[in-house]
Amino acid sequence: MAKIMIQGTGSTVGKSIIVSALCRIFKQDGYSVCPFKSQNMSLNSYITLDGKEMGRAQVLQAYASGLQPEAYMNPILLKPTSDKKCQIIVNGKVYGNSTAMEYHNMKLEFRDMLQDHFKKMEKSFEIIVMEGAGSPAEINLRDRDIVNMGMAEIADAPVLLAGDIDKGGVFASLAGTMLFFTEEEKKRVKGTIINKFRGDIDILKPGLKMLQDVVNVPCIGVIPHFNLALEDEDGAVEFNKKVTAPIDIAVIKLPHISNFTDLDALKSEDDVSVRFITSTEEFGNPDLLIIPGSKNTIEDLIKIRQCGLEACIKKYSESGIVIGVCGGYQILGNIISDPYKTETDMGEVEGMGLLDIETVFEKEKVTTRIKALSNADFPIIKEDGSLEKRKLDVYGYEIHMGICKYGAKAKPLFKFIEKNGKKVDIDDGAVNERKNVFGTYIHGVFDAMDFREYILNRIRQNKGLSYKKSRVYEDLREGEIEKLAGIVRKSLDIDKIYTIMGLRR
């Protein structure tokens, strides 16, 4: 069994996307490959087929490997609830809540578990592509590290160190990171990678030679800057604020925004622009307004109320289309109750009152994969270009602690027909009487072509644009992964990486 670990000089240098590329390259070359990140910190999470929670970055890496995502690929997930506290997910299930110091002190408790995971993976795959987190040069964390050099030691893995040249200072960041490694850690580093390069490579080459002389390891390659419709590192997304296409979709950028990967399928549409707003000045007149998920729904509701965005949303809802997902769905209701003080000590807050529902937070988190149908018939384009009215097929996953109760003026939007592979008959979401305000607990609801196509064609009709058939998002993602692998294969010395791993092509 072979392994390679991608570490980076800091967050957002592109570790996750490089791991995804390598996973697909090794798969293309005929190897069974699996991604692994021992500890991830992100509010972008995903629910596996068996109802476990994991980081979204490892989901993309799993797809690149030709695998279904499973929690062992990311056994520890930290979901921040404030600047100093987080929820800890271990092996896909809630382990508890802690402060940063409390978690730092308990990290070594997980070393044996991580080692056991890795040993099992070694028996199942020919190559494991590992990812570090943040910077491995956080010397104050070295004694309890379980994600960077600490994990490389557990797995006895060689390391490639990546740096982002787009922001400047890449040579100093690579050399400075190496400076803070111990001698044993330096021996693990077998090469560097320059990522996100723009310009003439010949101008860069003298710097690569000087860098090699300083760090005593070769540069494995230079990856150009590119734009593909793929998720980057968790939390590394750039929140666009401009309208760049005919259809203007505005998203409230909540302070504790989570699972904003729900919007990726909308971004994949050629005539759609997705922008994020944080103030009344940025609101404008969008064609669709989305309130996304939140890790702290009550606090985020209070924040948008205080900054005046709530008033803008209410006025907009008189004529515009509003969709709330998970926490955003709860915010649209009448009341949010927190009897067990799951999020705050407030107990109960008044919602926006745009959907006639009430939410009560329970003690246990709901984490399920679901399939659903719309409760009503909606117009959808047939293959011959004509319209038919039928129920919409929807799929995705739930991650929430709230349970909603319907009032007289709200009707369920969807009907769950399957949860974690078991047949069910459960109402989900809500739509108002005028059918312009929608809410659902389904993360990934826009990945489902039917619902995305219905909403966008409704907007196109309002704007006098032609109806358009949406594409299957999973097919688009697969094509983008192939493009990614092609770019990285051309950019890196893949033969050298195989040699580092002890393999021959």
CB 54 within 8 A of CB 45: yes
Query: Which segments within 91-236 are labelled E, that is strand?
Result: 93-99, 127-131, 159-164, 189-197, 219-224
Tens of pLDDT, residue by residue over 317-340, are 999 999 999 999 999 999 999 999
| pLDDT for 211 beyond 70 | yes
Closest CA to 392 of 355, 438, 348, 433: 438
The pLDDT confidence band at residue 383, using thresholds 50, 70 and 90, is: confident
Residues carrying CATH 3.40.50.880, the chain = 247-464
Residues carrying CATH 3.40.50.300, the chain = 2-38+108-230+478-501
- Tokens representing residue 217 in the block: 């390891």
Question: Where in the sequence numbering do the catalytic residues fall?
Answer: 326, 443
Residue in the structure block whose two tokens are 């097919």: 475
Which pLDDT value is given to residue 206?
96
- CATH superfamily for 247-464 is Class I glutamine amidotransferase (GATase) domain (3.40.50.880)
Which pLDDT value is given to residue 239?
83
Which pLDDT value is given to residue 237?
59
User: What is the chain's mean pLDDT, rounded?
Assistant: 95
CATH tag, 2-38+108-230+478-501:
3.40.50.300
Which pLDDT value is given to residue 155?
98
Distances (CA, A) of 457 to 250, 276, 373, 378, 444: 17, 22, 19, 11, 19
- Tokens representing residue 22 in the block: 């390598």
Closest CA to 67 of 75, 58, 56: 58
Give the Cα separation of 457 and 386 in Å (integer).
13
Tens of pLDDT, residue by residue over 429-448, are 999 999 999 999 999 999 99
The stretch 55-82 carries a mean pLDDT of: 96
Which pLDDT value is given to residue 342?
85
Closest CA to 380 of 318, 305, 457, 316: 457
- Tokens representing residue 296 in the block: 């702290």
H-type alpha helices, 252-407: 264-267, 297-306, 309-316, 327-331
Sequence-separated (6 or more) residues with CB below 8 Å from residue 89: 45, 53, 54, 76, 77, 78, 79, 95
SS3 content of the chain, % helix, strand, coil (to 5): 35, 30, 35
Pick from 20-24, 161-165, 342-346: least confident: 342-346
Tens of pLDDT, residue by residue over 245-282, are 999 999 999 999 999 999 999 999 999 999 999 999 99
Which pLDDT value is given to residue 469?
92
Distances (CA, A) of 423 to 369, 371, 394, 418: 12, 9, 15, 4
The stretch 307-324 carries a mean pLDDT of: 98
DSSP track, 3-46: EEEEEESSTTSSHHHHHHHHHHHHHHTT--EEEE-SEEE-S-EE
Closest CA to 430 of 341, 353, 340: 353
The pLDDT confidence band at residue 234, using thresholds 50, 70 and 90, is: low
| pLDDT for 203 beyond 80 | yes
| pLDDT for 238 beyond 80 | no
Q: Collapsing DSSP states into helix, strand and coil, what is residue 383?
A: coil
Closest CA to 417 of 435, 437, 436, 391: 391
For the chain, how big is the Rg over CA atoms in Å?
23
The pLDDT confidence band at residue 386, using thresholds 50, 70 and 90, is: confident
Distances (CA, A) of 308 to 169, 305, 327, 328, 330: 40, 5, 19, 16, 18
Report the largest interatomic distance among the alpha carbons of the chain, rounded to a whole angstrom. Answer: 73
| pLDDT for 224 beyond 90 | yes
Residues β-bridged to residue 437:
322
What single-letter DSSP state applies at residue 392?
P
| pLDDT for 236 beyond 70 | no
